[in-house]
Structure 1
Amino acid sequence: MFKPSALIALLLCLTAVNIQAKPPNIIFILSDDVAQGDLGCYGQSLIQTPNLDRMAAEGTRYLQAYCGTTVCAPSRASLITGQHCGHCPIRGNYEVPPEGQLPLPAETETVAEVLKPAGYATACVGKWGMGFFDTTGSPMKQGFDHFFGYNCQREAHSYFPKYLYNDDQKIFLDGNDGKTIGQTYAQDLIQSDALRWIESHREQPFFLFYAVTLPHGRHEIDKLGQYADKNWSDTQKSYAAQISRLDSDVGAIADLLRELKIAGNTLIVFSGDNGSSFSINSEIGTLFEQDSNGLRGYKRNLYEGALRQAAFAWWPGTVPAGRVSDEPWAFWDFLPTCAELAGTEVPSDQPVDGLSLVSFLKGGEAPKRDYFYWELHEGKPVRAIRFGDWKAVKPFNQSIELYDLASDRGEQKNVADTHADIVARAQTLMDEAHTPSARWPLTGNTDERNRVSKAAWEATRTRRDSAPSIPQK
């Protein structure tokens, strides 16, 4: 006869197996333009980021987390497709009128689509920038069950917009008819939607791509808070307040996960979408010492200061607490990482350049690879490749520059003249990594792209000029 005690033991065992087999919730928080130099855990002393600092200490902080490339749309596309910009269908900010950006092709398989077969609910909240709703790049056609925020990155320059989108439906703010700008700070609604969505999906595995717009310009904020009385410029005060607002909102997400008792089964990866956005001689760069990490470069080039992110992973009980890693990884690793966590397959009909970071996240070594590769198509194309500790940068129509990151992490000494064999290797690898594209020629922007993007910006400017500006608060 089967004893009750044995039955109870069996049930407990089966319950444990089921709990262990349940795939983790995954939240990727992508901050628009936050830099390593903005956060206390990377050495910032003037801007207060207690929540982000605590989460980084409770998890693993990364010193060499690389973005897809150093502007918005292609960096995001690399993240959700698992492709570096030698293959990715979006390799630059390609604006289209009247609203939106160049769409992801219909055949693209995103991380959201990779997770769906494992039963994941999926949402993107914040900023999209990879295709308007009537195109193949709509988030609703790329595996996301829910969207809230700005579809178009040009519209996301305003934090007091006339409208946002709930799924694919335009919602006018403050009850107006879209002819005037109200007084609603968009991040209030975006954060509320993210929290509400998490709570409503706490019983099933979920993936939230939280593409928060803070602290991207224009540097608008509803409350200056602790920085109001600082002897700084209005822009400097607003920027600091934007970072602290980002900090409190991310902290609120972690608090909610604890309250719902799902923190132990939720992975949060936090990152910026490119490195510093400012020259060290700029108004923001000087005061906040965004070069304090000793890296060269900022947004729209391919030196390390533009490519390395403020990034950490937080997963209580799984990601080692207090770990600081100097091992490199890149945005295109995220899709295969999610596939392994969910027990699904990476796409077989599109290039996947990334490698799974699951073992690395849990305390192991970063995966070994032949190289990291980047392209940047903003006007005159730039290319860069890293293999081992060698980093090569090829500005448009110029010779390859070569740096030894082991001894020169700030990329100050170009040693190309004394390492012809390494330069040749870099060129070979660049050619291997690059798939030619008529839309993204290495000769520069096409006439079509220039014409379409000009029309897009004119359409956006007309909408903004027709509405009153919001005074800085």
Structure 2
Amino acid sequence: MRYVRLAQPEGNLYYELQIYYNINNGCPVVKKLWFAYLLCVSFSVTAERHPPNVIFVLADDLGYNEIGAYGQQKIHTPNLDKLAEQGMRFTQFYAGAPVCATSRSVLMTGQHAGHTRVRGNAFPEDNGRQELYAEDFTLAELFKQANYRTALIGKWGLGMNNTQGHPNEQGFDYFFGYLSQHHAHNFYPTFLWRNDLKVGLPNTVRPMGNGHLYGAGVAVDKKVYAPDLFIDEALSFIQQNRQQPFFLYYATNVPHSNNEATTIRRADGAEVPELGEYESTDWQLGSKRHAAMITRMDRDIGAMMEQVKQLGMEDNTIFIFSSDNGPHVDHAEPMDFFSPSAPLQGWKMELWEGGIRVPLIVRWPATVPANVVSNEVGYFGDFMATFADITGQPVPAGTDSQSLMPLWQQQTQNYKPHEYLYWEFKGRDTGVVALKDGRWKGIVRDEDPTRLALFDLAADVAEQRDVSQDHPELVEELWAYLRSARSESEHWPPIITF
């Protein structure tokens, strides 16, 4: 584990002293690593030298309205706001599901929630229910086929160690972070994974909750904050791979709650080293911490943006930011203090727009025009076709994916939006959703599986009025789609029986 990082110039080079903490004997280990001094580098990568790099930042449980570019007033996100000013901001973009495992499976496979391998959250011992298989084809494998260097830093949640779902078995050359999403609740863990090896950290944790076998719990001695390690790992990966195309999937666990800690004290679920600029506010503690988590994440994103700029790769790097589902701010006091879903209704684990509609910002100076807002509809599954388009490969068979490239190039006449999008979820708000033409949203819930509620999102984005009685022909059309939208799954039986 890197505990301290010091950079020193020496001539036209610089070296880093990386001081590691040995968990077995407590002795520091020092490594001296040499790199080309950035201000003197003569081989800066240019757009002409290789295909575009991709940095995909995925926040965890960040609501549609929790960054400034989408209307947030209380939480400060200057770097993400700058990213939006320099690129394209989408107003109707959707996650793969209202919960993390399914949503990430949709992102990785390009298949919607009724086709992708993982269709809900589960524990690793649940017979492989939350695990990608060898036959699944991921974004990382797509990039590997195009000779990209690939890395996942942060939260995975789609396969444990020694399984076919492990990141290294799914196309990632390098992995550092959490394998289990239960482990990722804990921001001060006793260990993280580097590829298939455990890396011990000098935190002391009291195991708690059903996920304690995988590292969940509450730290009683907090020394190393996992997201601080993630940004260091990301900056190192970018630096080391500056001369070749790379795909960096930066899946932070911010601002997810430590669910176990909230059972002790609500505010403790928002784990962050310091309150920063929010310390002097008159807010309740949980809200201060929640805001501090997001602003700290924004600072780290700014560090990646600055590094890409200093390396001369800004024009040739696609920078993407989104969230895996709607907000789950059970540590904030009160929960709606930041209006995290506004103007939408709903939260994480709900089928309302607030559970599945998420921010999407794309910056690519060589291609994407600056300060543009797109109202076109897309979802996580579309990244498979988009990246296939960018890397010059065919879209893999069996996907539910349309390329977003025409939108990024502002050639909307060439964009082929989905006629239908599909979601399903079993949990607090159990049911299925069909969205037609980005406007007509049908929801069937298990409390009454014979009834389809219909909402016109063009006129009623907050889903306040069920218009199913006014449009019987659309109701029948959506019923017909829902009956055929889903494939059979060994581990995930149908939520609604039609």
- When the two structures are superposed, what TM-score results if normalisation uses the length of structure 2? 0.81
Q: Give, in whole Å, the separation in 1 of the partners of 2:441 and 2:486.
A: 16
The structure whose residues are more often strand, as a share, is: 2
Ranges in structure 2 where 5+ consecutive residues have no aligned partner: 1-45, 208-219, 259-269
Is 1:208 matched with 2:258?
A: no
CA distance 1:177–1:415, change in 2 (3 Å)? closer
**Cα distance per residue 1:357-378 (max 9 Å; x no partner):** 1121122224322111111133
- Tell me, yes or no, if the aligned pair for 1:275 and 1:310 is still in contact at 8 Å: no
Q: Give, in whole Å, the separation in 2 of the partners of 1:329 and 1:314.
A: 16
CA distance 1:407–1:379, change in 2 (3 Å)? closer
2:281 counterpart letter in structure 1: K
Q: Which of 382, 391, 400 is equivalent to 1:333? A: 382
1:395 is matched with which residue?
445
Within a 5 Å distance, the mapping from 1:142-291 to structure 2 comes to 142-174=170-202, 182-218=222-258, 219-278=270-329, 283-291=333-341
How far off is 1:20 after superposition? 4.4
1:360 is matched with which residue?
407
1:431 is matched with which residue?
483
CA distance 1:289–1:186, change in 2 (3 Å)? same
Q: SS of the counterpart of 2:376?
A: coil
2:352 counterpart letter in structure 1: Y
- Tell me, yes or no, if the aligned pair for 1:30 and 1:273 is still in contact at 8 Å: yes
- Tell me, yes or no, if the aligned pair for 1:173 and 1:182 is still in contact at 8 Å: no
Q: Which of 312, 316, 323 is equivalent to 2:361? A: 312
**Cα distance per residue 1:51-82 (max 9 Å; x no partner):** 10011111001111100001111100100100
1:12 is matched with which residue?
none
Q: Give, in whole Å, the separation in 2 of the partners of 1:371 and 1:341.
A: 24
How far off is 1:32 after superposition? 0.3
Name whichever of 106-115 and 359-368 sits farther off. 359-368
Within a 5 Å distance, the mapping from 1:284-303 to structure 2 comes to 284-292=334-342, 294-303=343-352
How far off is 1:153 after superposition? 0.6
- Tell me, yes or no, if the aligned pair for 2:87 and 2:371 is still in contact at 8 Å: yes
How far off is 1:298 after superposition? 1.1
- Tell me, yes or no, if the aligned pair for 2:424 and 2:495 is still in contact at 8 Å: no
1:50 is matched with which residue?
78
Identity %: 39
- Tell me, yes or no, if the aligned pair for 2:327 and 2:355 is still in contact at 8 Å: yes
Q: SS of the counterpart of 2:58?
A: strand
How far off is 1:175 after superposition? 8.5
1:107 is matched with which residue?
135
- Tell me, yes or no, if the aligned pair for 1:278 and 1:284 is still in contact at 8 Å: no
2:461 is matched with which residue?
409
Name whichever of 199-208 and 425-434 sits farther off. 425-434
How far off is 1:433 after superposition? 1.3
The structure whose residues are more often helix, as a share, is: 1
1:369 is matched with which residue?
418
Q: SS of the counterpart of 1:242?
A: helix
Q: Give, in whole Å, the separation in 2 of the partners of 1:158 and 1:66.
A: 27
1:76 counterpart letter in structure 2: R
How far off is 1:96 after superposition? 2.0
Q: Give, in whole Å, the separation in 2 of the partners of 1:396 and 1:100.
A: 25
How far off is 1:97 after superposition? 3.8
Q: SS of the counterpart of 2:336?
A: helix
Moved over 4 A (4+): 18-21, 98-101, 175-182
**Cα distance per residue 1:130-184 (max 9 Å; x no partner):** 0002111000000000000111110111111101111111011128899985511
Q: SS of the counterpart of 1:73?
A: helix
Q: Give, in whole Å, the separation in 2 of the partners of 1:123 and 1:412.
A: 42
- Tell me, yes or no, if the aligned pair for 1:130 and 1:138 is still in contact at 8 Å: yes
- Tell me, yes or no, if the aligned pair for 1:101 and 1:131 is still in contact at 8 Å: no
- Tell me, yes or no, if the aligned pair for 1:124 and 1:209 is still in contact at 8 Å: yes
Name whichever of 126-135 and 356-365 sits farther off. 356-365
Q: Give, in whole Å, the separation in 2 of the partners of 1:143 and 1:282.
A: 37
2:232 counterpart letter in structure 1: S
2:441 counterpart letter in structure 1: K
1:360 counterpart letter in structure 2: L
1:306 counterpart letter in structure 2: G
CA distance 1:390–1:193, change in 2 (3 Å)? same
Q: SS of the counterpart of 1:353?
A: coil
1:154 counterpart letter in structure 2: H
**Cα distance per residue 1:28-62 (max 9 Å; x no partner):** 11000111211111111111111100111110011
Q: Give, in whole Å, the separation in 2 of the partners of 1:20 and 1:38.
A: 37
1:73 counterpart letter in structure 2: A
Q: Give, in whole Å, the separation in 1 of the partners of 2:68 and 2:203.
A: 39
1:120 is matched with which residue?
148
How far off is 1:353 after superposition? 0.1
Q: Give, in whole Å, the separation in 2 of the partners of 1:403 and 1:242.
A: 34
How far off is 1:287 after superposition? 1.8
1:449 is matched with which residue?
none
- Tell me, yes or no, if the aligned pair for 2:320 and 2:363 is still in contact at 8 Å: yes
- Tell me, yes or no, if the aligned pair for 2:432 and 2:495 is still in contact at 8 Å: no
- Tell me, yes or no, if the aligned pair for 2:426 and 2:495 is still in contact at 8 Å: no
**Cα distance per residue 1:347-398 (max 9 Å; x no partner):** 23xx200111112112222432211111113377411011121110111142
- When the two structures are superposed, what TM-score results if normalisation uses the length of structure 1? 0.85
How far off is 1:23 after superposition? 1.5
2:187 counterpart letter in structure 1: Y
